[in-house]
Structure 1
Amino acid sequence: MDTKIIKIDKDNFNQEDLNKAAKIIKANGVVAFPTETVYGLGANGLNPEAVKKIYRAKGRPSDNPLILHIGEVSQLDDLVEEITEEATKCIEEFWPGPITIILKRKKVVPDIITAGLDTVAVRMPESSIARTLINLAKVPIAAPSANLSGRPSPTSAGHVIEDMMGKIDMIIDGGETGIGIESTVLDLSGSTPIILRPGGITYEDLKRILPDVVEDKANLENDIIPKSPGQKYRHYAPKAEMLVFTGNLEAVVNNIDKYTKQAIIEGKKVGIMATDETKEKYNDGTIKSLGTRMDKTTIANSLFSALREFDHLDIDIIFAEGVEKDNIGLAIMNRMMKASGGKTIKC
């Protein structure tokens, strides 16, 4: 397949720039496009044959549900049975933005989107490119992250090209994404609001407007029926083995240093995912700072790109510093744990 690439300035474009992409979506093709979180792999979310092309391009298991993306709040009425009071609060506070809500679905939503569940996940992205594309296509767009299944999510068009060239119809190059990790997924289909996947909208953010919101304890378990992308299978994984070190920061640094020396003795090429506060404390291995612990959004923004950089360097094993699980730190640790397959060293 000949994959076309179009470059768009996310701060200065007109609708004509996106008409070709919208026509592809209308014709049941597949287009990769930037959002404020990561790049999405988009197709007509109401056409099962179009959605099958997403699964084929990604190599994604069909029991992993997809998120429908809408351009206007009014489009939600066509997809769900009821917009609950909790959903209304979240929409008013956080849409457009990096939060996906799960509600009871209408029959118009195909089973292939929901993996046969009676619920559907929907979000309205903040990215003006994404919303303009959705509105031009005049259909909700199903859009998981635009990477091969299990690989680190793409935060630049280059990452998408790496995984999807020749597999899809078009890639919209809108530069690097802002947040760098996927949206928060909030299940509002039951009596208690449950965060199924932590993301850019944090537990603390949600607690302000939904006092009874809880974290899903099954996030790191494998034997579950997923209601949200990212709940099953190893995700975001680099080619290298990965270990996450948690606990007291000084102990984390000392243990990574010890493990690095041993791995080098064994002939392994080591990558270290450090932070600005610790990067100078390591003398061995290939060291990459993800950002500062004083502002963990910087760490979230560079996590996936760092994993891909280590792939390009043919790293054999990655030792990653964990972060505190407050605010966006919870989402960072969720992604690190998925990327490592749950392999941790408690220090």
Structure 2
Amino acid sequence: MSTSADISHAAQLLRDGGLVAIPTETVYGLAAHALDPLAVARVFAAKGRPNFDPLIVHVPEREALADLVSEFPATAVKLAEQFWPGPLTMVLPKRDIVPDIVTAGLSSVAIRIPDHPVAQALLKEAGIPLAAPSANPFGRLSPTTAAHVREQLGDAVDFILDGGPCRVGVESTVVQITGDQVQLLRPGGVTLEELEAVVGSVVIPSANAHPSSAAQPSPGTLPQHYAPGTPLILATGDDQAPASGKRTGLLCLTAPSNTIAYVVVEELSNTGNLTEAAANFFAALRRLDAAGLDVIIAQPFRDTGLGRALNDRLTRAATK
């Protein structure tokens, strides 16, 4: 686990244009000085990330927003009061100080306040906003431990802060705020039901609203994302039987009564708890990916609460 000296070292690296992997409550992020275009360019290079996919900017408190966003409407205030610090990202009109490389050239910026003691301590000590996508090669499984970052990015990162396993386990929910309207761009750690309890109706765009070659309004919206190297099939109906002669693994909320045909079974929660399942999700997929399988079969989740975010990740991870 990282010490206060580690945090001080990481803060200096970031001020100097370095890359630091940081723990958050969602997944580990690859952080750089958000207002330094050269530092941010290193993030894109390290991940192999296309420049039309914007980054999320992390700040320690709401007072830090004044320099970054030009509007913070009443709806955003309501959401901030309820969910910040926490796994909610808001897309808001940006100020000119935010470099275009951070926002994919868009006039908006994605902002959140993380709810993790190490991330909070780092942001306060560094004194700068941090642009931080997930600390993994673009399109691959998100890291939920420091070891995952080490395995995937290695020497591409100047320093890794270890804050233990991520508590939430899936990325933040992303919403775009336009006046009183709230549009859900990416499901995540804050559920649709929780959002609606605060702001009422939430707009959900159609699946093809944002062409994959155009600047994306939010990270995590491309059709292929969050994927293991092993082919993944999303089971539908009775299509859950292992293919004959293939080494098959199963990802499921709760294990079925007969699992003998599977080489590996990853049960995310033996009580069917979606919060527990989300916390275990990426680590379980990573173990399946490392098991020498020919194919992974994933059972979909009930499409409510955190199940909506988990289904989104599975749909994007599935072999196209």
- TM-score range (shorter-chain normalised) is over 0.9
Gap change, CA 1:131 and 1:339, over 3 Å in 2: same
Q: Which residue of 2 aligns with 1:256?
A: 240
Q: Which residue of 1 aligns with 2:258?
A: 281
Deviates more, 1:298-307 or 1:141-150: 298-307
Q: Which residue of 2 aligns with 1:312?
A: 290
How far apart are residue 241 of structure 1 and its match?
1.1
How far apart are residue 221 of structure 1 and its match?
6.7
How far apart are residue 275 of structure 1 and its match?
2.7
Q: TM-score, normalised by structure 1?
A: 0.88
Q: Which residue of 2 aligns with 1:140?
A: 129
Deviates more, 1:210-219 or 1:32-41: 210-219
Q: Is the 8 A contact 2:85 2:115 kept in 1?
A: yes
2:230 pairs, out of 227, 240, 255, with 240
Q: TM-score, normalised by structure 2?
A: 0.95
One-letter amino acid of the counterpart of residue 105, structure 1: K
Partners of 2:136 and 2:293 in 1: how far apart?
20
SS in 1 for 2:207: helix
Mapped pair 1:187 → 2:176: yes
SS in 2 for 1:133: helix
Q: Which residue of 1 aligns with 2:164?
A: 175
Mapped pair 1:270 → 2:240: no
SS in 1 for 2:305: coil
* Percent sequence identity over aligned pairs: 40
Gap change, CA 1:287 and 1:126, over 3 Å in 2: same
One-letter amino acid of the counterpart of residue 71, structure 2: E
Q: Which residue of 1 aligns with 2:97?
A: 108
Gap change, CA 1:239 and 1:227, over 3 Å in 2: same
CA RMSD in angstroms, aligned pairs only: 1.7
Deviates more, 1:216-225 or 1:227-236: 216-225
Q: Which residue of 2 aligns with 1:79?
A: 68
Question: May I ask how many residue pairs the two structures share in their alignment?
Answer: 318
One-letter amino acid of the counterpart of residue 336, structure 1: L
Mapped pair 1:164 → 2:153: yes
SS in 2 for 1:165: helix
2:120 pairs, out of 128, 131, 145, with 131
Moved over 6 A (4+): none
Q: Which runs of 5+ in 2 are unaligned?
A: none
Gap change, CA 1:219 and 1:298, over 3 Å in 2: farther
Q: Is the 8 A contact 2:253 2:272 kept in 1?
A: no
Q: Is the 8 A contact 1:87 1:101 kept in 2?
A: yes
Q: Which residue of 1 aligns with 2:143?
A: 154
How far apart are residue 203 of structure 1 and its match?
0.6
Q: Is the 8 A contact 1:102 1:122 kept in 2?
A: yes
Q: Which runs of 5+ in 1 are unaligned?
A: 1-6
How far apart are residue 233 of structure 1 and its match?
4.6
One-letter amino acid of the counterpart of residue 46, structure 1: L
Q: Is the 8 A contact 1:292 1:299 kept in 2?
A: no
How far apart are residue 240 of structure 1 and its match?
1.2
Deviations 1:176-210 (A, max 9, x none): 01010000001003552101000111110010111
Partners of 1:324 and 1:246 in 2: how far apart?
12
